[in-house]
Amino acid sequence: MPHNTLGKTGLKVSKLSFGASSLGNVFRSTNESESIEVVREALRQGINYIDVAPWYGHGLSEKVLGKALDGIPRTAYYIATKVGRYQPEVDKMFDFSAERTLRSVDESLQRMGLDFVDVIQVHDMEFAPSLDIIINETLPALQKVQQSGKARFIGITGYPLGNFRTVLERSTVKIDTVLTYCRACIHDNGLQEYIPFFQERGIGIINASPIAMGLLSNQGPPDWHPATKDIKDACVKSASFCRDNDCDISKLAMAYTLGFPGVHTTLFSTASLGNLRKNLACANTQLSHKEEDVLKEVIKRYIDPLPVHHWESVEVDEYKRQLQGVPDEQTFKLG
């Protein structure tokens, strides 16, 4: 497993890393015993960076992860968790206040049975009423967490890429990492534009979800996926074209993302041993000439013609509508 240095943190992280969201039944109901074995097998295969959050399964992912890591030397892995996103009820979903931030870190450490995490991150900062709260309240609270020894480094996460520039330029708290998702994929390579900006500041760059939360798979995305109809339709056609040419779109998607320049580690999530081994095989196998040709044709036929390749603002707008009490039949689940 190749390793990269995560920005200026000094952490030597595996190129492919493990996202523990699946352990919390985010995508499907899971078996705890298999989930535990998935984590341990990932570590045996050279993955050493694990990302989790209180939001995933509303604490379940962290609890299962803690069981999986029990008895494993702390030097064998790096752990990143998050603050800010918590409960399924829309009025309890987000809280970026300093008080809740400090309490959240202690809760996460208790659930996982750890004394510290390697990276503590603000979760989906676009949902804050204002980025001023992130800059003036959440990040200073995380600095206190860092100074107390409960976290080594501080990160920010989110989907809209422009927010990273705003926060990095304005924050007086040193930020070590950024994490975004679905922005270095076949359907959307928007992260590429921001790589030089992050590199200039020595920021660790973490990319998540090479198959775009199921968009780039034969199964398709979950019902709550926020992508627009145009993007979903293009991805369905892409998957069909791949099948017609005896190729697996998920394998092509993984290869595309792992080849994305400037990214230090890419997170994928699964609670299935079979899927874990499939992802590891993809990471260790180059595409054939035929697969490379099919990938190029998919992008040319179905992706390049898209007028917009992202769904920025879709979820935030929906969140605001639900807070205002829009009738249920007009809403979708916030994933």
Q: Kindly tell me the sign of the dihedral angle through the C-alpha atoms of 16, 77, 5, 177.
A: positive
**In whole angstroms, what is the distance from residue 272 CA to residue 95 CA?**
32
- The answer to whether 245 and 290 have CB atoms below 8 angstroms apart is yes
Is 56 annotated in the active site?
yes
Q: 13 has which bridge partners?
A: 4
* 3-state secondary structure at position 176: coil
Which amino acid is it at 242? Answer: C
Closest to 58 measured CA to CA, from 111, 17, 134, 124? 111
Residue of 56, 159, 302, 319 marked active site: 56
Buried b (16+ CB within 10 A) or exposed e, 265-303: bbbbbbbbeeebebbbebbeeebeeebeebbeebbeebb
Burial class (CB in 10 A: 0-12, 13-18, 19+), 97: middle
**In whole angstroms, what is the distance from residue 194 CA to residue 215 CA?**
23
Give the catalytic positions in this structure.
Answer: 56
